[in-house]
Amino acid sequence: MNKTIFRRLVFFGISCGILAYGQGGARTNQTPTSRLSQLVEANIVATHAYQILLAKRSGKADKSCYGPGKLSDGKLEALVEHQGKLLKSDLTAVKTWARGGQSNFDPADDLEPILASGLTVPPTVPVNVFTDYLREHTKADIVQIRAVASLYQTVLEVERDGDLLQEEFAFYIGLGLPVYVGQLNLPGSDQAMLAVGQRLAARTCASPFDTDAAAWQIAGRKIWNWGEKNLHIRDEKVLASELLGEPDVKALLPHLRALPPQKIAVIGHSFTMGLHWSSPSSFVPVVIEIFRRTNPKVEFKQFAAGGLTASRAQQRFYQSVLDWKPDKVLLVVMTRTDEDYDALKQLGAGFAASGIKTSMFDEVHDPASVKPGTVERAVKVARSAGIEVIEVGSVLSTAPDRMKFVCLDGIHMTEPYHRLMAKQWLKFLAGSVEAKSKVASGRE
């Protein structure tokens, strides 16, 4: 592509928030605002290209909203590839270019091919519906609005929120752009987000993913929580600081500091992972951060995966954990089948044979554990394998804010849950009376 063409974005159809290329306009004539706009719009166009392909595969979408125009599948895929490379560009170089400085970033490589594609984004797709809403309800400029709307566009897909969405967050934060509506002075309660979702759902065309009021609400909660997490407004470090200031945790500090050097492995499903959107962090990274500050001689390592069952944990992580040679292992895995119970028993026996002390919670409020006998069977198997059972079920069930534990997806847990679980694990590690647990023999 000739680098002297396709240099300047100009608005048309401002109510749709769509940008089009005009020819000419040397780089030196571009303003920082126009260059920022190009970077944001490139993400929007390429994400729309991906969603067109998604619509074709699923057969679930309004074709007038997700039509490819004159672009073949191959060209749409090429736009998606350019976006991936753009987001992985040297952010310092991109930021310097956006400000009009001398930079190694070359927009002809991945930016211009997206913006020169001719692909338009119709007014009733989610990104433009949300753009209109933000223009009506905030005083932010259009580039800021489009950056936030772009993140909503991606998160509604669900499947790319662990990779592409996080890259977009890093990209926009690096460019100094807002990434959630709290920065635009809009409210962030679940109720407020549902009310917004009800308005937006009525305006949005059929898409290859859910766009009902509940989907918009969850999208809003995800972007808000991830925004605060990525900006370090609320993350594991903030939660650790807050907990360290609470009396019941302060009382544990002498015991935590007195623990000898040791290695603790955590094998767990999504409840143990800090990346998830439902909370600023999970109890595991929070506890790790507390130990980093109070007793760094205690070393932790996470072995985690979403939906991790005991059998999958055995297949995927058992040998890796043994190779790390920990002193202790905490298991937070699901038991669904006979194979899982057998794997749980084998994990406990295998770690014990290597001199590793293994523990697990009697209950973590996994939604599937409501099936009669699930918790009881897991505890019985664990004790028979010499796994120490940390009794927290009664504490969780009687907590004053237990009704707030489950997040909007009905599966994962919110901040109050993770704060309480962090305290219970800390008490257990500190050897406090409250968290002592029973072993297979039933002795204290």
Give residue 230's identity as a one-letter amino acid code.
N
Query: Is the four-CA dihedral 60, 64, 65, 66 of positive or negative sign?
Result: positive
Is residue 369 helix, strand or coil? helix
**pLDDT (mean) for 277-293:** 97
Residue 110 included in any domain: yes
What's the Cα-to-Cα distance from 222 to each of 185, 189, 207, rounded to whole Å? 17, 12, 19
Same domain, 109 and 220: yes
Cα 13–16–22 angle (5° rounding)? 45
**pLDDT (mean) for 394-408:** 94
- pTM to 2 decimal places: 0.86
Residue 442 included in any domain: no
Q: How confident is the model at residue 370 (pLDDT cuts 50, 70, 90)?
A: low
Between 133-147, 256-270, 419-433, the lowest mean confidence (pLDDT) is in 419-433
Looking at the structure of the chain, the number of domains it has is 2
CATH code of the domain covering residue 342: 3.40.50.1110
What value does the CA radius of gyration of the chain take, rounded to a whole number of Å? 25
Give residue 380's identity as a one-letter amino acid code.
K
Same domain, 113 and 251: no
Residue 1 included in any domain: no
Same domain, 222 and 242: no
Give residue 186's pLDDT. 98
DSSP code string of 393-412: HHHHHH-TTGGGSB-TTSSS
**pLDDT (mean) for 362-367:** 84
Same domain, 210 and 351: no
**148 within 8 A of 223, measured Cβ to Cβ:** yes
Same domain, 216 and 276: no
Q: How confident is the model at residue 226 (pLDDT cuts 50, 70, 90)?
A: very high
CATH code of the domain covering residue 190: 1.20.1090.10
Segment 318-326 long-range contacts (CB within 8 Å, at least 24 positions apart) = 318/347, 318/350, 321/265, 321/267, 321/351, 322/350, 322/351, 322/354, 324/263, 324/265, 325/263, 326/262, 326/263, 326/264, 326/265, 326/301, 326/356
**pLDDT (mean) for 280-307:** 97
Percentage of the chain lying above the pLDDT 70 cut = 89
Residue among 105, 119, 30 at smallest CA distance from 72: 119
Q: Which of 230, 249, 282 finishes a domain?
A: 230
- Count other Cβ atoms within 10 Å, centred on residue 200: 23
Both structure tokens of 227: 């925004």
**pLDDT (mean) for 133-146:** 98
Tokens 């804010």 belong to which residue?
401
**pLDDT (mean) for 43-71:** 96
Same domain, 60 and 206: yes
Q: Which of 215, 230, 245 finishes a domain?
A: 230
| Rounded CA separation 268/209 (Å) | 29
Same domain, 86 and 123: yes
Residue among 50, 126, 43 at smallest CA distance from 87: 43
Mean residue pLDDT of the chain comes to 90
Percentage of the chain lying above the pLDDT 90 cut = 83
**pLDDT (mean) for 248-276:** 96
Same domain, 300 and 183: no
pLDDT(444) > 80: no
Cα 253–258–260 angle (5° rounding)? 135
Residue 50 included in any domain: yes
Q: Which of 230, 263, 285 finishes a domain?
A: 230
| Rounded CA separation 424/419 (Å) | 9
Residue 55 included in any domain: yes
Same domain, 226 and 242: no
Same domain, 185 and 54: yes
pLDDT(435) > 80: no
The residues near 112 (Cβ < 8 Å, ≥ 6 apart) are 1, 3, 6
pLDDT(124) > 50: yes
DSSP code string of 241-271: HHHHTSHHHHTTHHHHHHPPSEEEEEEE-GG
**330 within 8 A of 267, measured Cβ to Cβ:** yes
DSSP class of 68: -
Same domain, 149 and 281: no
Residue 3 included in any domain: no
Beta-bridge partners for 9: 21
Residue 2 included in any domain: no
Q: Phi first, then psi: what are they for 159, rounded to 5°?
A: -70, -20
The continuous run of DSSP H or E covering 299 comes out as strand 298-304
Between 11-25, 215-229, 246-260, the lowest mean confidence (pLDDT) is in 11-25
Same domain, 335 and 428: yes
Cα 46–51–56 angle (5° rounding)? 130
pLDDT digits (tens, 9 = 90+) for 143-158: 999 999 999 999 999 8
Note the Cα 362 to chain centre separation in Å.
27
Residue 443 included in any domain: no
State which residues form the domain around 331: 236-435
| Rounded CA separation 101/258 (Å) | 53
Give residue 404's identity as a one-letter amino acid code.
K
